[in-house]
Amino acid sequence: MIGRRKKRADTAELERPRTRVEAPTPEVTRDVARFEHGSRVPGWDDAVDLEKDPAVIPDPATTPVPAELRAEIEAQMAKYPDFRSAAIPALAAVQRHHGWCSPEAVWQAACVMRLTPGYLISVATFYDMLETRPVGRNRVYVCTNISCSLCGADELLARMKEETAGDPSFNVRGFECLGACDIAPMASVNDVYVGPMSLDDVPTLVTQIREGLPPLPNKQLIRRKSVDPNAASPGGGASA
């Protein structure tokens, strides 16, 4: 997915004489469809490079794979009756190693799994958490689904993006329901769920991430008690 050709932007510049109404001027481009959540880069306009060789199963003789990566993928393959089940774990492993599912990373996973890289890229592009283009290493997924957005998630995402704008170490994305509507609006910060977040939490959070500190310790889901009034009642035996 790297090295994609530039999209045409010419048609947008045509003069449109009858429009003289004052209007906001959003950036109008003829770019391909991009997604609300910025999670994927469609390749609709990509032709193949006819100079390349077909992407068959990579030969171990000519594909160097870091030993620890190979061992991790092979261990995953051994867990299942059919080794192909390890496709997602293998892609997750190369993503951890390379930062994203780069062509080289996918090629390595394919080499270990004895699959074509096509098989794996087809899987990788299906899932939101597998990145098929370079991203920052700090993942901040802000849930923007119904419950969170009823509680102000869209503003939170905008604020978060604003705060981290220009910092390549961040990968701030709006995300579909993360399954934590009880702490809406919330975010998953390098896999740690925090919420409910206010806009004021954003600068603190960004600083904590930059400094490698635990994100918003007091707002971590993992420490939250159940809200069910009966859950921890003596009748339930919690005090036993």
Per CB under 8 A, does 208 bind another protein? Answer: no
Q: Please calculate the CA angle 52-56-61 and round it to the nearest 5 degrees.
A: 95
Per CB under 8 A, does 12 bind another protein? Answer: yes
Q: How far is the CB of 149 from another protein (least distance, A)?
A: 6
Distance CA 156, CA 140 (A): 12
When the beta carbons of 166 and 212 are compared against another protein, the nearer one is: 212
* Omega within 30 of 0 (cis) for the link into 196: yes
Q: Which residues contact residue 155 at a Cβ distance below 8 angstroms, ignoring those fewer than 6 apart?
A: 199
Residues numbered 216-235 forming contacts with another protein, rule: CB under 8 A = 221-222, 225-233, 235
Residues numbered 81-100 forming contacts with another protein, rule: CB under 8 A = 81-89, 91-92
When the beta carbons of 126 and 169 are compared against another protein, the nearer one is: 126
Distance CA 228, CA 45 (A): 52
When the beta carbons of 29 and 207 are compared against another protein, the nearer one is: 29
Q: How far is the CB of 102 from another protein (least distance, A)?
A: 9
Residues numbered 102-141 forming contacts with another protein, rule: CB under 8 A = 103, 106, 114-123, 125-130, 141
With contacts defined by CB under 8 A, how many residues of the chain interact with another protein?
115
Q: Which residues contact residue 19 at a Cβ distance below 8 angstroms, ignoring those fewer than 6 apart?
A: none
Distance CA 64, CA 115 (A): 16
Per CB under 8 A, does 149 bind another protein? Answer: yes
Residues numbered 44-63 forming contacts with another protein, rule: CB under 8 A = 44-50, 52-56, 59-62
When the beta carbons of 203 and 217 are compared against another protein, the nearer one is: 217
When the beta carbons of 58 and 69 are compared against another protein, the nearer one is: 58
> For the chain, where are the alpha helices, taking DSSP H only?
67-78, 87-98, 103-113, 117-124, 146-150, 153-164, 201-210
Q: How far is the CB of 200 from another protein (least distance, A)?
A: 19
DSSP state of 193: E
Residue matched to tokens 């299942």: 80
When the beta carbons of 64 and 203 are compared against another protein, the nearer one is: 64
